[in-house]
Amino acid sequence: MSDLFVIGAGLSGLMAAYTAARAGLRVQVVTKGLGSMHWAAGTVDVMGYTPEELSRPVQRPLEAIQALAHSHPEHPYVLLGSHQVQVALEEFTALMAELGLPYGGAGGFGALAHSTSGDNLLLPSAVGALRPAFLAPSAQLAGDMARPEPLLIVGFTGLRDFYPELIAENLAKQGFQARAAFLPLSLLTEQADRNNVHLAQALDLQARRLKLGGELKRLARAGERIGLPALLGLDDHAAALADLSAAAGAPIFEIPTLPPSVPGMRLYKALRARLWRMGVRIDVGLEGIGANVIAANGTAGRVQWVETATTTSRPLKHRAKAYLLATGGILGGGFDSDHTGRIWETVFDLPLTIPQARHQWFRPAFMDPAGHPVFNGGVAVNAAMQPVGADGQVLYANLWAAGGALAGADPIQQHSLEGLAIATGWAAGQAIVRALAQ
């Protein structure tokens, strides 16, 4: 029997697992498949746009969190308070530095620890828009548009997931000096365009990246920084980045594009490796399908075990002292819905703050600045990340929740996906450690 049983191996689940394991708890993580890190940009977005001001990017996300307290008391950041969010982010940056995949912010590395006025980075996206992000892996940092250097965006002919001219043109429209160039795809692979991950693996070979670096050097003008699609190595990324920058003789940065996300996969693999070394079990392919609970009866109920599906529908029972739901809401598969407008949480059937009626879910415009209500609701929790009922009472004494499943925020609209995952995952881990110590 483990101390902590985590359902979901996304960023929030892994962050909670790390926090708990570091405190000496025995942790098991199960997941149906792999998580949305594999689709996202690989940055840590804390708050890009606030619910009040959806057209202008937030400049200082930790301050913006403080301002949320009045208008959005149910927002998970408000439940935690900006100080806890900051501590969680510091834990994350420390961990990533240790893992050899350092993340930094607008002030460079390490600036976060000493300031709540950390600015957002503005990084060029694969269409040439400016994405606000609070932390970015070192491979993306040189793209910060607050830097003065002009940009050379380099793509590869026939690479389907990256269009340098589009990026350069849109950056230029926003007043930046940017131009585009192409190199042959054969620098990456002799085969046709495949999958971003396979192309990234091609650059795990030093000979290839030195050659590429040489070509970049030929293309670049003095003073330019070079933007490339995010495929600069997978398992040998740090060396790939170093080799390329040296050979190119210019600062290099990656631009994340369509899934699969190579930066996201690097993050996942680094976290996973760390957790393995800490003795955390991660069982991929185990889908949480239900739980046996003692219902609340005046006081909080208790989860007795969680069931995961096996091949024979002879479900596996997992018992633990504490359980964490980190199944990712609609995107992660933690919520399901049908045509009647019923929407439900798939493991514990926790109540959701999403209206049970499809006519309250959507707005007419896909890009409506206010987002779609269906994506804003979820599992309501208290400040200790425990799911609560409508009356605010804890539902199960040994159950916590974190990440995309939580109510009170639309992390995609607000560009707060990783920030919420890290902060709520860390906070849930801390709360579980405290609870089990008693």
Partner 1 sequence: MPMHTQSWESVGPSLDECIKCNICTSYCPVAEVTDKFHGPKYSGPQAQRFRENGQPQSPDHSVDYCSGCRVCNEVCPTGVRIAEINARARAQAAAEHGIPLRNRLLGRSDMLGKLGMIAPGLANWGMRQGFARSIAEGVLGISKHAQMPTWSREGTFASWLKRSAPNRLRSERKVVYYHGCSTMYYEPYVGKAAMAVFEHNGFEVVVPEQGCCGLPLLNNAEFPAAEKYHHHNLEWLTPYARQGYQIVGTSTSCTLTLKEEAPDMLDIHTPEARDLALAVWDIFEWLRELHAQGQMKTDFQPIDMVLPYHPPCQYRAHHIGSPVMDILPLIPGLDVRESHARCCGGAGTYVYKKEKYQIAMDVGQELFTWVDEQRPVTMTACTSETCRWHIESATKLPCRHPIEVLAAAYGLYDLEKRKLTKE
Partner 2 sequence: MKRIETEILVVGGGATGTGIAWDAALRGFKVTLIEKRDLTHGTTGRYHGLLHSGGRYVVKDPVSATECIHENRILRKTHAHCIENTSGFFAVTPEDEGPYPDKFLEGCRATGVDCAEISVADALRREPLLNPRISRVFEVPDGTADSFLATHATVQAARHAGAQILTYHELMGLIIEGGDGNRRVVGAKVRDVAKGMDVEIRAQMVINATGAWAGMVTQMAGVAISVVPGKGVMVAMNHRALNTVVNRCKMPADGDIIVPVHTVAIIGTTDERVTDPENLRIEPWEVNLMLEEGDKLVPNLSKARVVRAWAGVRPLYQEDYAGASRDATRKFALLDHKERHGIDGFITITGGKWTTFRLMAEKTVDLAASHLGARKPCITATTAVPGADQGNYWLGHRLHEIEEQKLQGQLICECELVTRAMLENAAKQNPLLTLDDLRRDVRLGMGPCQGGFCTYRAVGIIHEMGKAGVWEGDAGHQTHAAEEWDVAYIQSPARNVNGSGSVGDRPQQQGGSVGDRPQQQGGSVGDRPQQQGGSVGDRPQQQGDRPQQQGDRPQQRAGQTPPLFNPNLLLRDFLQERWKGVAPILWGRQLKQERLDELIYLNVMNADHLPDDQLASAMTDFYLFDTTPNEHEVHP
374, interface contact from partner 2, partner 1, none, CB < 5-8 Å by kind: partner 2
Q: Pick what 71 binds: partner 1, partner 2, none; C-beta below 5 to 8 Å, kind-dependent.
A: none
Chosen residue from 25, 29, 85, 331 binding partner 2 by CB under 8 A: 331
Interaction of residue 265 with partner 1, rule CB under 8 A = yes
Integer angstrom CA distances of residue 376 from 28, 329, 348, 411 = 29, 10, 20, 8
Q: Is 176 left (phi over 0), alpha (psi -120 to 50) or beta?
A: beta
- Determine if 211 is a binding residue for partner 2 (CB under 8 A): no
Q: Which of 338, 392, 437, 438 binds partner 2 (CB under 8 A)?
A: 338
Nearer to partner 1, 213 or 264 (CB): 264
Q: Could you say whether residue 51 binds partner 2 (CB under 8 A)?
A: no
Q: Which two tokens stand for residue 359?
A: 């006519």
SS3 sequence of 25-81:
CCEEEEECCCCHHHCCCCCECCCCCCCCCCCCCCCCHHHHHHHHHHHCCCCHHHHHC
DSSP secondary structure letters along 82-107: HHHHHHHHHHHHHHHHHTT--EEBTT
Q: Are 133 and 123 in contact (CB under 8 A)?
A: yes
Task: Give whichever of 45 and 91 is closer to partner 2, judged by the CB atom.
Answer: 45
Q: Rounded to the nearest whole angstrom, what is the least distance from the CB of residue 346 to partner 1 in the complex?
A: 12
- 409: helix, coil or strand? coil
SS3 content of the chain, % helix, strand, coil (to 5): 35, 20, 45
Q: Considering beta carbons, is residue 87 or 187 the nearer one to partner 2?
A: 187
Residue 309 binds: one of partner 1, partner 2, none (C-beta under 5 to 8 A by kind): partner 1
Residue 344 interaction partner, one of partner 2, partner 1, none, beta carbon < 5-8 Å per kind? none
Instruction: Name the maximum alpha-carbon separation found in the chain.
Output: 73
> Which is nearer to partner 1, 197 or 219 (by Cβ)?
197
What angle in degrees, to the nearest 10, is found between the helix axes of 82-98 and 262-277? 80
Residues between 253 and 272 with contacts to partner 2, criterion CB under 8 A: 256-259, 261
Q: Judged by CB, which is closer to partner 2: 155, or 429?
A: 155
Contact partner at residue 24 from partner 2, partner 1, none, CB < 5 to 8 Å by partner kind: none
Residue 409: CB atoms within 10 Å? 28
Find the binding residues for partner 2 in span 277-316 (CB under 8 A): none
Spatial contact of 183 and 219, defined as CB atoms under 8 Å apart = yes
DSSP 3-state of 121: strand
If one asks whether residue 438 binds partner 1 (CB under 8 A), the answer comes out as no
Q: Per DSSP, what are the bridge partners of residue 136?
A: 104
Residue 179 near partner 1 by CB under 8 A: no
User: Which stretch, 1-9, 73-81, 95-103, 330-338, contacts partner 2 (CB under 8 A)?
Assistant: 330-338
How many residues sit close enough to partner 2 to count as binding (CB under 8 A)?
83
Least CB distance to partner 2 at residue 300 (A): 31
Indicate which single residue of 26, 281, 321, 358 sits in contact with partner 1 (rule: CB under 8 A): 281
Question: Six-digit token pair at 193?
Answer: 């365009």
Binding mask 187-206 for partner 1 (x = CB under 8 A): ----xx-xxxxx--x-----
> What residues between 101 and 120 interact with partner 2 by CB under 8 A?
none
Nearest one of 332, 324, 359, 330 to 343, comparing CA atoms: 330
Closest CA to 391 of 382, 403, 400: 382
* Smallest distance, partner 1 to C-beta of residue 281, A: 7
Judged by CB under 8 A, the chain residues 119 through 178 that form the site for partner 2 are 122, 125-131, 145-146, 152-153, 157-158, 160-166, 168-170, 172-175, 178
